[in-house]
Amino acid sequence: MDGSFGITTSEAGEAFQRAVDTFLDTALTDELRAAGRATTGLKSAPWACAAWREKLHAQGWYAQSWPVEHGGAGWSTEQRLYFENACAMRDAPLLQSSGIRTIGPLIIAEGTPEQKARYLPAILNGQHEWCQGFSEPQAGSDLSALSLRAERDGDDFILSGSKIWTSFAQYATHMFLLARCEAGSTGGDGLVFLLIEMDRPGITVNPIRFIDGDHETNEVFFDRVRTPAADRVGNIGAGWKTAKRLMAIARSNNTTTGMLRRAFRAAERGYRDSGYADPALQARLAELDLRIDMFEALEVHAGAGRIRIDEAPATSVLKVLATELHQAITEIGIELAPNSDFALAKYFATRAATIYSGTSEVHRNIIARAIGCP
């Protein structure tokens, strides 16, 4: 890749690009770049995330796609892609904030004025970190089988049950969750989408460790946890509709071009350091580079509204393509640098990408239905 980021260059203004380049060249210290380079999972080390978030927030660039009136940068897709690529090429820390990516945009779209005032500034300044409480032991692909109970008691709900696979719950101050508020209801009926504080009495977070010892996901138990009924998005009983909107947002930015380019750079670096010279592997690497450009083109189409990203099949396509490409890059990463622990850690870290936010099989079912397959 020549660093011009294909189609993004022609469409983004030169002044914008200069401003981004100048900012990144000044703001990214050697320590921050080293932390970015050392990242194997979805987030860089907590200290690096905090330091980088602070610098981006001070510049007004932390929430790149949020509207300006809510504290975002209000950037177009081309501008966001230019910024992400420029960050990737300089090994900036990887933030991957659930508040910025998923629940913030949902609150902007559907939250009450009070929720916007309370939650959006706290996401931007890093006071609030969010996690997603959807999956349960008996409700994964079939999410509507969930059974966390939300019993009404005056102005509150009382939550009883558990969630599983909750990413980064150990750092989260808040969780958005889906609970069953109508006893006896089944499927997507009778659910409520709640926003809750993680320090409420009765919440316990237990770690689930990955095969490589990493700790990203958790079990979260709710033992009669009291939380205000007003802290919900959408109507009581209509939580499924809100969750579907949230999932469409989450799938549309699950794995971005910037993340793919970081993984690609890491694979290239590993290859260089390993001293290998294998033309066949080099050809496969070049093909992956092209596939990243193609995915970027798709992101631009989606951002320009030429693909309806509020529709499930389109977000399923984005999610499947990006996560499978991410895996292909880290797979070749271990072939290019077979003795590298780092390449191996990156390989393991991307295995779950085709499981979370809906498995590839489930998304292929959605796409198949959309194109009329039986």
The Cα-based distances of 306 to 134, 233, 237, 300, 301 in angstroms read: 30, 28, 33, 9, 5
Rounded Cα distance between 343 and 173, Å, is 32
Q: What is the DSSP string of 254-309?
A: SS-HHHHHHHHHHHHHHHHHHT---HHHHHHHHHHHHHHHHHHHHHHHHHTTSS-T
Q: What is the DSSP string of 173-219?
A: SEEEEEEE-STT--TTTTEEEEEEETTSTTEEEEEEE-TTS-EEEEE
Rounded Cα distance between 15 and 18, Å, is 5
Contact between 352 and ligand FAD by CB under 6 A: the answer reads: yes
Among 89, 355, 367, 370, binds ligand FAD (CB under 6 A): 355
Rounded Cα distance between 43 and 165, Å, is 16
Q: What tokens were used for 137?
A: 């032991």
Among 52, 66, 119, 165, binds ligand FAD (CB under 6 A): 165
- Shortest distance, CB of residue 226 to ligand FAD, whole angstroms? 22
- Shortest distance, CB of residue 42 to ligand FAD, whole angstroms? 9
Contact stretch for ligand FAD (CB under 6 A) within 87-95, 102-110, 258-266, 348-356: 348-356
Mask 52-91, x = binds ligand FAD (CB under 6 A)?
----------------------------------------
Please name the residue that has the structure tokens 């009495």.
Answer: 201
Q: What are phi and psi of 187, to 5 degrees?
A: 60, -145
Measured from the CB atom, the residue of 24 and 100 that comes closer to ligand FAD is: 100
Contact stretch for ligand FAD (CB under 6 A) within 32-40, 125-133, 199-207, 227-235: 125-133
Among 132, 256, 257, 350, binds ligand FAD (CB under 6 A): 132
Helices (H), the chain: 7-11, 14-27, 30-37, 46-59, 77-89, 98, 104-110, 113-124, 239-252, 257-274, 279-303, 312-336, 341-351, 360-370
Among 17, 170, 274, 365, binds ligand FAD (CB under 6 A): 365
Measured from the CB atom, the residue of 24 and 366 that comes closer to ligand FAD is: 366
Q: Using DSSP, state whether 156 is helix, strand or coil.
A: strand
- Shortest distance, CB of residue 362 to ligand FAD, whole angstroms? 5
Contact between 141 and ligand FAD by CB under 6 A: the answer reads: yes
Measured from the CB atom, the residue of 297 and 355 that comes closer to ligand FAD is: 355
Among 140, 190, 239, 303, binds ligand FAD (CB under 6 A): 140
Contact between 370 and ligand FAD by CB under 6 A: the answer reads: no
- Shortest distance, CB of residue 145 to ligand FAD, whole angstroms? 9
Contact between 359 and ligand FAD by CB under 6 A: the answer reads: yes
Positive or negative, the CA dihedral 68, 71, 75, 77 is: negative
Q: What are phi and psi of 338, to 5 degrees?
A: -65, -20
Among 8, 85, 97, 135, binds ligand FAD (CB under 6 A): 135
- Shortest distance, CB of residue 40 to ligand FAD, whole angstroms? 13
Measured from the CB atom, the residue of 134 and 193 that comes closer to ligand FAD is: 134
- Shortest distance, CB of residue 357 to ligand FAD, whole angstroms? 6
User: 193: which residues sit within 8 A by CB, 6+ positions away?
Assistant: 176, 177, 178, 232, 233, 234, 239, 242, 243, 246
User: 141: which residues sit within 8 A by CB, 6+ positions away?
Assistant: 358, 359, 361, 362
Contact between 5 and ligand FAD by CB under 6 A: the answer reads: no
Contact between 350 and ligand FAD by CB under 6 A: the answer reads: no
Contact stretch for ligand FAD (CB under 6 A) within 55-63, 104-112, 126-134, 260-268: 126-134
Among 134, 157, 222, 347, binds ligand FAD (CB under 6 A): 134
The Cα-based distances of 53 to 60, 350, 351 in angstroms read: 10, 23, 27
- Shortest distance, CB of residue 170 to ligand FAD, whole angstroms? 12
Among 97, 166, 330, 350, binds ligand FAD (CB under 6 A): 166
Kindly list the residues in this chain that would bind ligand FAD in the complex (CB under 6 A): 131-135, 140-141, 165-167, 216-217, 352, 355-356, 358-359, 361-362, 365
